[in-house]
Structure 1
Amino acid sequence: MPTSTYSFRDRWHVDAPPERVREVLVDVERYVEWWPQVVAVGYLGEGRGLVLCRSALPYTLQLVLTEVLNRPDVLEVGVDGDLEGTVRFELRPEGEGTRLDFAQDVVVPGLLGALSRVARPVLTWNHDRMMRGCVEGLAARLA
């Protein structure tokens, strides 16, 4: 079955110390409270959860997240489901707040992967909206 790969990088500043930012990011079960594009979360066991995401396009991604790295300065999860790969947040003190570096490297398998070859600009735009929702929601949660 065809696949398509995506690598995304973002850097944001959040007006809260790294410890507070980390507390919010590790509490995946509460993402639905502050990240508009996360529509549901389910607990699958220690270090694992199901996350349903829907951005602007009429498609809900089903993702199983598995903790890979959980350090004070780095959070990384493995992703399986509609996307396969990794998502990583690096937290660094920056002034009175936190510099948050985001990295996502995923393969899109199956039919969605085949479609993404022709719809890449639209899917990238959709991802950008999702991540804008993340940083804006995170900032509001920490305010």
Structure 2
Amino acid sequence: MTSRRHRFVFRSVWRLDESPEAVYAVLERAGEYPLWWPQVREVHALDGMSGTARIRSVLPFDLWITGRATRHDPDAGVLEMEITGDVAGWARWALRRDEASRSGGTVAVYEQQVEVRKPLLRQLAVPARPFFRANHALMMRAGRRGLERWLEGGLDDD
């Protein structure tokens, strides 16, 4: 049974200078996320539709998840997956051309709804909620910056 106190809903909007097609081409390759997203520490493919990942942001714990693709639609600009593991639920990228951008950039909307499953996190879900939300926001900010650098031609070893 899902408890509201163990549930988190996240939404991030990234505005990027590259085209939706270029952004989609990077986001659909989840196995490469550790190359540009520092908090995605490792990804292991299980098959063509699923894989496991270890994620760690500022807070001193790892999240282990298994993701299974439920929608892969380049024409609509949508990537969606079901998540199980330390958190369970779903995540979705929805990309569209940024009409306000002169460069033909992209608006990338990331949405996630998950329930905390890891026992320690379930105990901390209420008192540490602001820290969990801040942790997620920092992770998303670093992901956007990493993706921007990756789209510009890769990351330097600085």
TM-score range for the pair, normalised by the shorter chain length: over 0.9
Q: Deviations over 1:41-86 (max 9, x none)?
A: 1111111010100000110100101001111111101110011001
Structure 2 residue corresponding to 1:120, chosen from 119, 122, 129: 129
Letter in 2 for 1:135: R
8 Å CA contact retained: 2:7, 2:115? yes
The size of the alignment, in residue pairs, is: 143
Q: Which structure has the higher relative contact order (CA within 8 Å, separation 6+)?
A: 1
Residue segments in structure 1 that go unaligned for 5+ positions in a row: none
Runs (4 or more) in structure 1 with deviation over 4 Å come to: none
8 Å CA contact retained: 2:14, 2:108? yes
Letter in 2 for 1:136: R
Partner of 2:147: 138
The alignment's C-alpha RMSD in Å is 1.4
Residue segments in structure 2 that go unaligned for 5+ positions in a row: 153-158
8 Å CA contact retained: 1:2, 1:113? no
Matched, 1:98 2:106: yes
TM-score (norm 1): 0.95
Letter in 2 for 1:122: F
Identity of aligned residues (%): 36
User: Which is strand-richer, 1 or 2?
Assistant: 1
TM-score (norm 2): 0.86
Partner of 2:44: 42
User: Which is helix-richer, 1 or 2?
Assistant: 1
Cα deviation for residue 133 of structure 1 reads 1.2
* Larger Rg over CA atoms: 2
Cα deviation for residue 2 of structure 1 reads 8.3
